[in-house]
Structure 1
Amino acid sequence: MKKIFVLDTNVLLHDPQAIFAFDDNEVIIPAVVLEEIDSKKRLADELGRNARSVSRLLDKMRGEGQLHEGIPLPKGGVLKVELNHKSFIRLQEMFGDVTNDNRILAVALNYRLEQEDLAASGTVTAAREVILVSKDVLVRIKADVLGVQAQDYLSDRIIMSSDIYSGYVTLFVHPAVIDEFYTYRYLAVEALQLPVQLNPNEFVILRDEMGSSKSALLRVSMDGGKLEPLYLSNDAVWGITARNAQQRMALELLLNDDIPLVTLNGKAGTGKTLLALAAGLMKVEDEHKYKKLLIARPVVPMGKDIGYLPGEKDEKLRPWMQPIYDNLEFLFDTKKSGDIDKILMGLGSIQVEALTYIRGRSIPGQFIIIDEAQNLTKHEVKTIVSRVGEGSKIVLMGDPEQIDHPYLDSISNGLTHIVERFKGESISGHMTLEKGERSKLAQLAADLL
């Protein structure tokens, strides 16, 4: 039986195409949602862009009929703008204030009651399910209190949390396989008949299934056909040496000029930023492979004005960019406050920027580091990566468990999205850093808190 889905404003602001994601079911947009979208359309950020997209889409569909009567959708469903709030009195008794959220809840509750009345009167054989779709947790909780089904918007998710790509796999094999690798310095993937599908540039840790200490660390070739040894030794990179296997694998990706897209996941203190900066400095300052090292991070929320702070642009940016400067001070081993600014000014090849100022640019021949990428939406990540010009390398990193964006989570954020979309491509590589190396206290805090 077809269902009725009532959409919250945040669903459309998150994905303007959401109305097409419910197959042949009925999609209801409460009238108050249109008011909220109208209030957002003048914003210069991602919400404003999506609000304008929804407005144009609904205006186009208006040409096919009356929205309040229902417009057919491509998959057999119906789109309808609902004006009925007659159940709002009941909500006022429970929740009090006349808020937009409560008006949306009233529409969902009214549909549920109408379906129950139709079923009770025998007009229909069974009541249709009414489901409120919202990315607001509290709205879903309030719907549950009212007896209305509610769920998160999941259509844009490409994986489940348990299936997030880590960039490496541990396999237990016969010791003869490990001996063969050390003899011939490669293994054919097809001949191994592995139980898992390997991606290009994925790392493989081979361990002896008999229980000995034999092991090997390998990387899948760019064509996916062979397991090869790592190209790099564990030498220091700008004074930084890998402290665990994941960090060594990350450096392998960061220093490989044939991999222009690298993504790094990891909790606070796992070394993401430090490793990326050390690799970027080596490539720019020592090897001169790239003309400039560009480091950027979103000013959360991204796209908002960073004004109301004293000074010029660089002074306004400093509080947001301080984590980057902290790592640069460590790498340059500065002793006094302000020394790092003099060093960066003297070099001229290192630029620290906010993502607000990176959009619309074309960036060739640069080593680009995007920090805190988990706070980006899919569209924002697409916008940024599409800025990468010829001869550039981009590194996106962050912790999907630490998200400040109100409508993103560990699965729907831009960093996780690009990891999953590019994991099968030969030009990309990914690594999940798991062990904290900042301090024992920092590791305990990340695990326990």
Structure 2
Amino acid sequence: MITKCYLLDTSIILDDTQNIIFLWQNAQNQLFICDVVIEELDKKKDLQNETGYFAREFFRCINSDNLSKGGSKGGKIATIAKENNDFIQEICFKFENYSIPLFLIYRPRYKLPPQEHSYNDSKLIEIAKDYHLTLLTNDISLKVRTQAQGIPAQSLFRDRVENPSDIDFWHSFEVHKDKALTDLAQDENFSKLKQWSLIQIDEMDNTDSALYKTGKKIFGLKVGREFMELNLDEILKTHQPYITPINLEQKMLYALLTHPQNNLTIATGSTGSGKTLIALQAGITLVKNGVVDGIVYMRNTITANDKEAELGYRKGDESQKLGYFMYPLYSAINFTIDKLQESSLAKRIEYRGEVNGIQKQAATEYFIQKHNIEIVDIAHARGISIGNKFVIFDEVQNASNATIKLIGTRIGQGSKIVFLGDWAQIDHPYLSKFRNGALSLLSKALKDDFIAGIQLRQTIRSDVASWFGENF
């Protein structure tokens, strides 16, 4: 039985073509698109980014061989089409084992006169109104305009997380000083935790009449079914990273990333939390210890919906174009070089050159070559295999689940990957702070033993940056 009839906006398809499968709900819903969407997708199909890929993927899934033999739709819809001189064709969206009917509405002449702004949006609203359809869009302004005219409109709520700040991987326990830490595995609450849970133990002692905390804290992870104690300061003393993590969260992130059994991590935090810097230090340690051959850095080249800021519009070769978008990495490298130069005369001689800038100056270039750091454009990741590398995927909040899957399936034998991001800082036009790649991974890390997760809540900022963070 059909429960809902949706008119899909272009933003739904460009977010992820598999949204069509989700919305169909095993034939419970009917899905419509119109000529406006086809036209907009056609303009996007040549882009060499995620948007272009989804446009091409959609057309692959509805190629001419998939035209329905049933022709146009009958009944009430056919009557409305006849009244408006529209054409309706049922086409088939084929993906893997799914064959989903889509009804394409083509209107040769729209009622509203041409307008300078948002003409396509107005066309969509007209179709939704005439056919009594619910307009489904991730474009908030379009949704509001539609609802203001009394026409039902919704956003896509797939994978939405209502309270992202409540996601927490820390768990606290109290253990008497005379008990072995291995006994924690017998604790009922501990046994329910997923692997890679972050554990804080408060040591307890007692007098004849009272139980009290000694003040000693022990930190560790749940690995397998057991508690693994982490002597964080000893780990750092042994590894001697260029930059030493300065708070508990940074130390735990470093320990997670360098743990021999952990291959997949999601770490989120706002600007100043040190996530990129610590990930870089962990990667360098893994390279030095021969665990991996090198570091691969990726970052979504998505900006605040500024077409001119896309990779293809920048001047220079691919390396120079990527440089504009790789500031977080260069900033972490330059900070590391500054500290190395301060540490000794030998390091000042080794890392010669100006490092204060996003362009790869002499010292930065030398650092990248010495530590075998490679920068990869996500658009070119399809078809490659990344083996025996430490992969840093930055700004994952601006990535869709499809992009995450694309990168994840490129990871070869012997590689580790960490996804970094700030779920509250969204530049992607079709994602939000309640629904983005970072939150998808955090949600999985809460339940899945294969992936470790941590949220960095402490930030290290200047007084000016702190003021703006608190007041705006």
TM range (shorter): 0.7 to 0.9
The offset of 1:190, in angstroms, is 5.1
Q: Which residue of 1 aligns with 2:79?
A: none
**Aligned equivalents of 2:105, 2:313: Cα separation in 1:** 41
Whether the 8 Å contact between 2:311 and 2:321 is mirrored in structure 1 is yes
What is the distance in 1 between the residues matched to 2:118 and 2:295? 52
Is 1:105 equivalent to 2:144 in the alignment? no
User: Structure 1 segments of 4 or more deviating over 6 A?
Assistant: 71-78, 208-211, 302-305
CA displacement 1:140-180 (0-9 Å, x = unmatched) = 1101110112111123x1x5232678452344x5xxx3225
Matched position secondary structure for 1:26: strand
Q: How big is the shift at 1:310? A: 4.7
2:197 aligns with one of 186, 196, 202: 202
Range with bigger deviation, 423-432 or 253-262: 423-432
Q: Secondary structure at the match of 1:233?
A: helix
Corresponding residue number in structure 1 for 2:33:
29
| Gap change, CA 1:371 and 1:70, over 3 Å in 2 | closer
Q: Structure 1 35/215 Cα, relative in aligned 2: closer, same or farther at 3 Å?
A: farther
Moved more, 11-20 or 268-277: 11-20
1:370 pairs with one of 374, 393, 398 = 393
1:189-338 maps to which residues of 2 (within 5 A)? 189=185, 191-193=187-189, 197-206=192-201, 214=215, 216-223=217-224, 225-233=225-233, 235=236, 237-285=240-288, 287-300=289-302, 306-307=311-312, 309-333=314-338, 334=341, 336-337=353-354, 338=361
Cα distance, 1:52 vs structure 2: 2.5
Listed as ranges, the gaps of 5+ residues in structure 2 are 73-87, 205-210, 342-347, 355-360
Percent identity between the two aligned chains = 25
Q: 2:4 corresponds to which letter in structure 1? A: K
Distance 1:433 1:389, change over 3 A: same
Aligned partners of 1:75 and 1:352: how far apart in 2?
37
Could you state the TM-score of these two structures normalised by the residue count of structure 2? 0.77
- Say whether the 8 Å CA contact 1:297–1:321 is kept in structure 2: yes
In structure 1, the residue matched to 2:77 is: none
Q: Decide whether aligned partners of structure 1 residues 280 and 56 sit closer, same or farther in structure 2, where only a CA change above 3 A counts.
A: closer
Distance 1:230 1:350 in 2: 28
Q: SS in structure 2 opposite 1:201?
A: coil
Q: How does 1:48-197 map to 2 (within 5 A)?
A: 48-59=52-63, 61-67=66-72, 68=88, 79-83=102-106, 88-89=111-112, 99-112=119-132, 130-155=133-158, 157=159, 159-162=160-163, 166=167, 168-171=169-172, 177-179=174-176, 183-189=179-185, 191-193=187-189, 197=192
Per the normalisation by structure 1, the TM-score is 0.81
Q: Are residues 328 and 252 of structure 1, via their aligned partners in 2, closer, same or farther at CA, if it must alter by over 3 Å?
A: same
- Per-residue Cα deviation, 1:376-424 (whole angstroms, up to 9, x for no partner): 2212211212222221211110112112211122343233323333544
Aligned residues: 419
Is the Cα contact below 8 Å between 1:365 and 1:391 reproduced in 2? yes
TM superposition shift of 1:239:
4.0
SS in 2 for 1:278: helix
Pick closer, same or farther for the CA change 1:268–1:213 going to 2, 3 Å: farther
> Is the counterpart of residue 408 in structure 1 residue 409 in structure 2?
no
Say which SS state the counterpart of residue 406 (structure 1) adopts: coil
SS of the residue corresponding to residue 326 of structure 2 reads: helix
Is the CA contact (8 Å cut-off) linking 2:167 and 2:442 kept in structure 1? no
Q: Is the 8 A contact 1:30 1:83 kept in 2?
A: yes
Structure 2 SS opposite 1:264: strand
Q: Which amino acid aligns with 1:258?
A: Q
Q: Deviations over 1:215-234 (max 9, x none)?
A: 644444332x2333225336
Q: Distance in 1 between matches of 2:16 and 2:386?
A: 28
> Equivalent residue for 2:14?
13
Picking from 46, 53, 59, the partner of 2:50 is 46
> CA separation in 2, counterparts of 1:216 and 1:166?
23
Give secondary structure in 1 for the equivalent of 2:58. helix
Q: CA deviation at 1:318?
A: 2.5
Describe the shift of the 1:97–1:290 C-alpha distance in structure 2 as closer, same or farther (beyond 3 A): closer
Please say if residues 368 and 374 of structure 2, whose CA atoms lie closer than 8 Å, have aligned partners that are also in contact. no
Per-residue displacement from partner, 1:226-248 (whole Å, max 9, x unpaired)?
33322533636424333332222
Deviation at residue 106 of structure 1 after TM alignment: 0.6
C-alpha distance in 1 between matches for 2:181 and 2:259: 19
Whole-angstrom CA distance in 1 between matches of 2:319 and 2:110: 53
Structure 1 residue 111: deviation in Å?
Answer: 2.7
- Report the RMSD for the aligned CA atoms in angstroms: 3.5
Q: For 1:284 and 1:131, how far apart are their aligned partners in 2? A: 53
- Say which SS state the counterpart of residue 37 (structure 1) adopts: helix
Measured after TM superposition, the shift of residue 434 of structure 1 is 0.6
Q: Is the 8 A contact 1:367 1:393 kept in 2?
A: yes
Shift of 1:188: 3.4
SS at 2:296's partner residue? strand
AA paired with 2:13?
L
1:361–1:387: 8 Å Cα contact kept in structure 2?
A: yes
Distance 1:373 1:257, change over 3 A: same
Which letter does structure 2 place at the counterpart of 1:299?
A: T
Residues 149 and 63 (structure 1 numbering): CA distance in 2 closer, same or farther, change over 3 Å? Answer: closer
Deviations for 1:323-352, whole angstroms, at most 9, x for unmatched residues?
312211221224741342353366262333
Kept in 2, the 8 Å contact 1:261–1:395? The answer is yes
Structure 2 residue matching 1:383: 3-state secondary structure: helix
